[in-house]
A and B are shown apart, each in its own frame.
Chain A
Amino acid sequence: MIEEEPVSLHDAPSRPLNMIEAINEALDIMMARDPDIVIMGEDVGYFGGVFRATAGLQSKFGKNRVFDSPINECGIIGAAVGMAAYGLRPVPEIQFADYIYPGLDQLVSEAARLRYRSAGEFTAPITIRSPFGGGIFGGQTHSQSPEALFTHVAGLKTVIPATPHDAKGLLIAAIEDNDPVIFFEPKRIYNGPFDGYYDNPSKTWKSHPGGKVPEGYYKIPLGKARVVREGSALTVLAYGTMIHVAEAVLAEKGVDAEIIDLRTLVPLDIETVQASVEKTGKCLVIHEATRTSGFGAELSALVQERCFYHLEAPVERVTGFDTPYPHSLEWAYFPGPVRIGEAVDRLLKD
């Protein structure tokens, strides 16, 4: 690995990129820096990925380092564990988070526990990239948000970016991290932020501050949340697509909310969360995943345990419903402006 000082984000020249371009650039930069990084997955090689995240990488770095795989998620993650044991730093792709389950045993029983069970003899510095989340009429198997399955596993880190700027910096940090990282990419916001108002024309990243991506190498540390907006009326805890929905709804309602983009779910930036809720006294947790035993339950419990005497209202959870992700009734399922608005009203009534 080449050692060089990360550029200061304020000084670095930046330009607008969408999230796919930012991810592609992070992979490109890291592959050039570290010859041990390899990319594999379904359609990632010659074709460059079904979402174009790996476009151009095979022709640049060769088939030994970027290659297509059989359609076998158990094999993709299992082989990545073996490659990591050898000393490589694999960055496999699972085409949709909905299809990560065949690889779950390799992730939960192997990648997550390799360091622990071997007392550090073998490690799994693997970053598993996977598009996740709904809002794209993906139906049951192209829309899921299974992050809670992974946050429940000791030994895995779970990272979810909400902007192209963060996607690049977080992915670089994830690849350099010596622990296995699940890197979920909210595919609804690959090409532009989505505020939940699905009838409005779609936006691009060009005019969004988070779409300004610095050139070159930079890292956003794992385990550090981003305060999207400071405020005093209530704290919103969210990540991925729901950051943009929360921002839009609260702006429309004129609520002085403090919005926190968690960015990393495990390890969680508990200090930022705690400080905010102690300040505002109210907490709204938003995620697209189903409600029961979702990550929101963990957030709600932590806030209750740590901020009990500061809380002025019950912690609210706005989530997807406890059903499989529907196709035709997508917008009835999606935790959009109405559902968030009701929860905000409940929290703010005296």
Chain B
Amino acid sequence: MADSGSKSAPPRGNLPPLQLHVPEPRFRPGDTVDYSHIDIPPAGAQPRPDETCPASETKPLCVDLIRVLDEDHRAVGPWDPKLDAETLRRMLRTMALTRAFDDRLYRSQRQGKTSFYMKCTGEEATSVASAYALDRQDMVFPSYRQQGVLIARDYPLLEMVNQIYSNRADKLKGRQLPIMYSARDYGFFTISGNLATQFPQAVGWAMASAIKGDTRIATAFIGEGSSAEGDFHAAMTFATVYNAPVVLNVVNNQWAISSFSGFAGAERATFAARAEGYGIAGLRVDGNDALAVYAATRWAADRARANAGPTLIEHFTYRAEGHSTSDDPSAYRSVQERQEWPLGDPIARLMHHLIALGEWSEDQQTAMDRELAEQVKAATKEAEKNGILGHGLHHPFHTMFEDVFEELPWHLEEQAEQAIRERRTKWPEWKEDGETR
């Protein structure tokens, strides 16, 4: 309700007092959750235009929801990518591995082995199925919740854990907050803490690929919350102006820390609908349907590769867990939300699809989950040999000053000497080999 207690001017005539609208999510802690307002169209009902169609033809798909897996776990409709069972099993395995990794590393943070972690629980399809639809040479500009892309591209789990532990084997030399990976050889751009900056960068990478007459494309991910950043507008404008070969993904998981998607404008329009105003193709997809995510990404990638232009994909999903290890979602949303989410769980849905095809079983899933948990555990044990955060094994002190510039200028050399001198003052026995404290 508007607060009428502090008016600064008397009302004019019979005009109603203006009211500021501050969005409010439907459910707060303790509320009973009822998602009947969310319109979930039947799977298979969405038309699939040609990849090279004019952007305007995708307008209906910006407010619809592309879905492939139906109530009976069958793949239906024109968006069915018709993947073979082996590919489906690999995709399921990658998603399950991503979840197993999250579960284990979340516990590592709770055990004090690192300072921070962020899970992607419930969103595994948005990154893994996307990665399956791309070529490995395509560059991905991720946010911090696309670890599934790295795992899908077979980036060693050990390297991921080394980074999270900031140990002496960390390829980023302990400089970066955990999960801010960088893996150029795997087409995975260095993650930044500053939200949405990767969006125009991906467009620039795609422009460069076009300038060079290359065939590689770029993709980028942001959350729905950071689509409110100015960089989103910059990226969309540059992408449309130069017809850049780029696939821009908005992962709408309903929550930006404690702010629901209404604070990014979701009350008035879908995020896919932003594409229309820029003249960019837009697709809105069931983000918990791995086949739909795969099909939409494939469509957009083929469109980009055909010089037919960029695509914005909204992945409609739900952030099943807290924002990060520093967050307690029970302080701002109903715990019932996760159970009631009408699009279910992406891993369970793909599993049931394979079971319905007669290509998988619950027993196989249980065995696989056990195996993946062991795989992750082995990687963390191996990584611990290289040290955990704050327990001694780290990169040499001098590396802190390297890579600021290509070469160390005099002032950084002086500061490096100072840092090492301070260390020796504190621990006279200390040697610059990273082996003590």
Question: Are chains A and B native binding partners rather than an unrelated pairing?
Answer: yes
| A38-B211, A122-B182 known; A116-B204 Cβ under 8 A | no
A147-183 residues at the B interface, CB under 8 angstroms: 154-155, 157, 177-179
A118 touches B201 (CB 8 A): no
- CB-CB under 8 A for A82 and B190, given A117-B175, A223-B409: no
Closest to B191 in A: A117
- B208 on the interface (CB 8 Å rule)? yes
12 contacts between A and B (CB under 8 A): A70-B237, A72-B238, A78-B234, A81-B200, A83-B204, A83-B205, A83-B207, A105-B194, A105-B197, A109-B194, A110-B197, A267-B405
The 6 closest A-B pairs by CB, nearest first: A82-B204, A78-B200, A79-B204, A75-B234, A267-B409, A86-B208
Q: Which residues of B contact A64 (CB under 8 A)?
A: 211
Complex CA–CA separation, A78 to B238 (angstroms): 10
CB neighbours (8 Å) of A80 from chain B are: 204
- A119 and B189 contact, CB distance less than 8 A: no
Within B122-166, which residues are at the interface with A (CB < 8 Å)?
139, 141
Contact of B406 among A85, A86, A118, A178 (CB under 8 A): A178
Decide if A82 touches B231 in the complex (CB within 8 Å): no
Cα–Cα, bound, A110→B194 (Å): 8
| B338 interface residue (CB < 8 Å to A) | no
Q: Which residue of A lies closest to B203 (CB)?
A: A79
B192 touches A267 (CB 8 A): no
Write the chain B residue with the least CB distance to A109. Answer: B194
Give the Cβ gap from B194 to chain A, nearest Cβ, in Å: 4
- Interchain CB contact under 8 A, A87 and B403: no
A114 close to B (CB within 8 Å): yes
| CB of B206 closer than 8 Å to a CB of A | yes
Tell me which residues across on chain B come within 8 A of A179, comparing CB atoms. Answer: 405-406
* Residue from B203, B204, B411 having most chain A Cβ neighbours under 10 A: B204
Report how far A38 CA is from B208 CA in the complex, Å. 9
Task: Find out whether the CB atom of B190 lies under 8 angstroms from the CB atom of A114.
Answer: yes
CA distance A116 to B194 in the complex (A): 15
Q: Which residues, 203 to 243 on B, are CB-close (under 8 Å) to A? A: 203-209, 211-212, 218, 230-231, 233-235, 237-238, 241
- For residue A266, which residues in chain B have a CB less than 8 angstroms away from its CB? 409
Name the residue among A79, A102, A116 with the largest chain B CB count within 10 angstroms.
A79
**Minimum CB distance partner of B193 in chain A:** A109
In the bound complex, CA of A79 to CA of B203 (Å): 6
In the complex, the chain A residue whose C-beta lies closest to that of B172 is: A119
Asked if A117 and B172 make an inter-chain contact with CB atoms under 8 angstroms apart, the answer reads yes
Report whether A122 and B204 are in contact in the complex, using a CB–CB cutoff of 8 Å. Answer: no
Contacts of B233 in A (CB 8 A): 72
Q: How many Å from the CB of B189 to the closest CB on chain A?
A: 6
B48 within 8 A of A: no
Q: Is the CB of B197 within 8 A of A78?
A: yes
Please give, as numbers and ranges, the residues of chain A lying within 8 Å of B169 by CB-CB distance: none
Q: Is B300 an interface residue (CB 8 A)?
A: no
Contacting pair A86 B405 (CB below 8 A) = no
Whether A120 is near chain B, meaning CB under 8 Å from some CB there, is yes
Q: Does A121 contact B (CB under 8 A)?
A: yes
Q: How many residues of B contact A (CB 8 A)?
A: 46
* A106 is an interface residue with CB less than 8 A from chain B: yes
State A268–B230 Cα separation when bound (angstroms): 34
Decide if B410 touches A121 in the complex (CB within 8 Å): no
Q: Does A115 contact B (CB under 8 A)?
A: yes
On whether A118 and B211 interact (CB within 8 A), knowing A80-B204, A110-B194, the answer reads no
Q: How far is the CA of A65 from the CA of B189 in the complex (A)?
A: 24
* Contact residues in A for B200 (Cβ distance below 8 Å): 74-75, 78-79, 81-82, 106
Is the pair B235, A78 in contact by a Cβ cutoff of 8 Å?
yes
Number of residues from A at the complex interface, CB < 8 A: 46
Check A121–B182 contact: CB distance below 8 A: yes
Contact B204 A81 (CB under 8 A): yes
A223–B205 Cα distance when bound, in Å, is: 30
Known: A119-B172, A154-B404. A81 touches B409 (CB 8 A): no
Residues of B whose CB lies within 8 Å of any CB of A are 139, 141, 171-173, 175-176, 180, 182-184, 189-190, 192-194, 197, 199-209, 211-212, 218, 230-231, 233-235, 237-238, 241, 403-406, 409-411
Q: Does A88 contact B (CB under 8 A)?
A: yes
Residue of B nearest to A264 (CB): B409
Q: Are the CB atoms of A106 and B197 closer together than 8 Å?
A: yes
Question: What B residues does A109 contact at CB under 8 A?
Answer: 192-194, 197
Taking A117-B190, A122-B182 as contacts, is the C-beta distance between A86 and B209 under 8 angstroms?
A: yes
Q: Which residues of B contact A82 (CB under 8 A)?
A: 141, 200-208, 218
A154 to B197, CA, bound (A): 18
With a cutoff of 8 Å between Cβ atoms, the chain A residues found around residue B176 in the complex are 117
Residues of chain B contacted by A223 (CB below 8 angstroms): 409
The answer to whether B192 touches A117, judged by C-beta atoms less than 8 angstroms apart, is yes
A128 to B81, CA, bound (A): 45
State in angstroms the CA–CA spacing of A81 and B197 once bound together: 10
Q: In the assembly, what is the distance between CA of A105 and CA of B234, in Å?
A: 13
Q: Once bound together, how far apart are the Cα atoms of A78 and B201, in whole Å?
A: 5
Are B406 and A116 within 8 A (Cβ)? no
List B contacts of A118 (CB < 8 A). Answer: 172, 182, 184, 190
Q: Is the CB of A86 within 8 A of B189?
A: no
Residues of A within 8 A of B230 (CB): 74, 102
Residue pair B237, A122 in contact (C-beta under 8 Å): no
Q: How far is the CB of B416 from chain A (nearest CB, A)?
A: 13
Q: State in angstroms the CA–CA spacing of A123 and B184 once bound together.
A: 11
Residues of B within 8 A of A83 (CB): 204-205, 207-208, 211
Contact A74 B234 (CB under 8 A): yes
How distant is A225 from chain B, measured CB to nearest CB, in Å?
13
B182 engages A78 (CB within 8 Å) = no
CA distance A64 to B183 in the complex (A): 29
Please tell me if the beta carbons of A122 and B184 are within 8 angstroms of each other in the complex: yes
**Contact at A115–B194, with CB atoms within 8 Å?**
no
Report Cα–Cα, A109/B403, bound state, in Å: 15
**For the complex, is A270 an interface residue (Cβ under 8 Å from B)?**
yes
- The CA-CA distance from A117 to B402 in the complex, in Å, is 11
Q: How far is the CB of B267 from chain A (nearest CB, A)?
A: 26
**Shortest Cβ gap from A272 to chain B (Å):** 12
Return A182 CB to nearest CB of chain B, in Å: 13
* Alpha-carbon separation in the docked complex, A260 to B172 (Å): 40
A234 to chain B, nearest CB (A): 24
Residues of A within 8 A of B231 (CB): 74, 78, 105-106
A155/B205 contact (C-beta < 8 A), A78-B231, A119-B182, A122-B184 known: no
Determine if B404 and A115 form an interchain contact, defined as CB atoms under 8 angstroms apart: yes
Contacts of B139 in A (CB 8 A): 85-86
Nearest residue, chain A, Cβ from B210: A64
Contact yes or no, B403 A115, CB < 8 A: yes
Per the bound structure, the CA–CA distance linking A117 and B234 in Å amounts to 24
Query: B53 to chain A: closest CB distance in Å?
Result: 25
Q: How far is the CA of A267 from the CA of B413 in the complex (A)?
A: 12
- With most chain B CB atoms within 10 A of its CB, the pick from A75, A88, A113 is A75
